Structure 1
């Protein structure tokens, strides 16, 4: 599959309407779930084992979308299958009182993976250029000297780009996924949660309330993609109405990134091999 077509090129003007929310893959859900995704997960798991053992590179995975688009399910069906010691998941929700006293990227630091790890952001630092913009939530102390509530967004985009470049230059790769869901699909998924007693715990009243700002969100998402997809930290826009197709794409894009990193299991030196053989012999002769 050509995964490059989901990647947002740097410096190319983005029109979110040009990115489909579906590729008519729902009818293939069962086949993709049962036959396509499992071997991809196995391959991803093997590459992750090598990444974790080598400890030279890390990957920060950014999952960004509106509620109901499938971020949690991607974590459940893909990343939860990887070795737990090499995976960390962080959900950056509304900033706490303590977090609001710091620069907006400060709270991201504990989520940065170590070399050898995959760190997953279920919502991310991009929340700080989305929700505050839609709901006009910035206080005076959030706005640096020389800027206002209009110009601060370009400033934050630049700061995010520079921070992600800093990560990449320190062998932390950034993989960013935007789940592009249609308004009709979100309606069906929210109703499914609301009507099914076994799924009502997944529903939040804010999911419906935020839906009222749908058009505003689409404009801000488009601006975000326009300004923060770079060669070193590209966005991938996925057709999120096709839930299992989207999970397949996340797998394939992650595998492609890991194959480019090309991690390897560490090899023993000649002295270590001799010592290993000695210990094998001693253990066998106990």
Structure 2
């Protein structure tokens, strides 16, 4: 299988999405890729146990992408070998009245993973500079001072939101949260194919919504908004990775590799030392159990 360098997918300088690949050719068959994924995710599962025992870092995994990009199946396949006590998935949908009564980051802040755990955001706080930017009327529901109509939502408003998101991520990073942000970069042609499958295969009917076709017509606007969001918020402490998503198997493998290869560089993540008194009496404890 073709070797990959994960830094090739990290956004370190401004990008144009049109120049980023949507398909990753690993020069092997799908079964081999899936075998490699199983190997890496087992290592990730063991690392997660160590992270939990260590208890000083949290890991936040943010997954964004257009409809049909494979977010749900990505989460299912990459984190399959995790202990359920160590991972929590949040899927953010239309804000509730309670959530709208707070600032736009509040519902994301209270969903952050505790130290020792992985938190996965399936759609994230970036919806607030993506969907709301394509549909600025949604902002009106937030009841923000000084925003009386859509005309008040200027370019400066979005720049301010980018800054607020950057400050939010910088704050949690400095307090022990390791942040990964993945954009599942899907081609428009592949989205069409996946939407058609939802209309052809009866078991996938439930996934289809006419709204998907309405949003598809706004494809170029979404690509522009994603590009601006990524370029304004990819930082060393919270990098974006553009993941070629036209092939699900290679996309899942790539995400798993990025997670594992990055986390294993944290040499201080290790199981805590056993208490000296307990260590000195291990043989006694074994003897007590064996003599029961």
Taking structure 2 as the reference length, the TM-score comes to 0.92
1:4 aligned residue: 7
Aligned to 1:211: 216
Q: Residue 89 of structure 1 contacts residue 111 of structure 1 at CA under 8 Å; is this kept in 2?
A: no
Q: 1:149 pairs with 146, 153, 167, which one?
A: 153
Match of 2:60 in 1: 60
Spell out the pairing of 1:1-286 with structure 2 (5 A cutoff). 1-9=4-12, 12-25=13-26, 28-33=29-34, 35-137=35-137, 138-139=139-140, 142-145=143-146, 148-150=152-154, 151-262=156-267, 263-286=269-292
Higher mean Cα deviation, 64-73 or 141-150? 141-150
RMSD between superposed Cα atoms in Å = 1.8
The runs of 5 or more residues in structure 2 that have no matched partner are none
Report the CA distance between 1:235 and its aligned residue.
0.1
**CA distance in 2: counterparts of 1:18 and 1:282, whole angstroms:** 66
Alignment gaps of 5+ in structure 1: none
What's the offset of the Cα at 1:13? Answer: 2.2
CA distance in 2, matches of 1:135, 1:271: 62
Q: What whole-Å deviation, never above 9, does each CA across 1:196-227 have from its counterpart, x for those lacking one?
A: 11111222332222111111100000000110
Normalising by structure 1, report the TM-score: 0.94
Secondary structure in 2 matching 1:232 = coil
**CA–CA separation in structure 2 for the residues paired with 1:125 and 1:170:** 19
8 Å CA contact 1:26–1:243 kept in 2: the answer is: no
Residue-by-residue CA offset, 1:150-178 (whole Å, 9 max, x unaligned): 11110010010111010110001110000
Distance 1:273 1:20 in 2: 53
Tell me how far apart the structure 2 counterparts of residues 173 and 205 of structure 1 sit (CA, whole Å). Answer: 37
Q: Cα distance, 1:18 vs. partner? A: 1.4
Q: Secondary structure at the match of 2:281?
A: helix
Say which SS state the counterpart of residue 241 (structure 1) adopts: coil
1:81-109 residue CA offsets vs partner (Å, 9 max, x unmatched): 21100000001111111111110000112
In 2, Cα distance between equivalents of 1:182 and 1:59: 29
Runs of 4+ in 1 over 3 A off after TM superposition: 24-27, 140-148
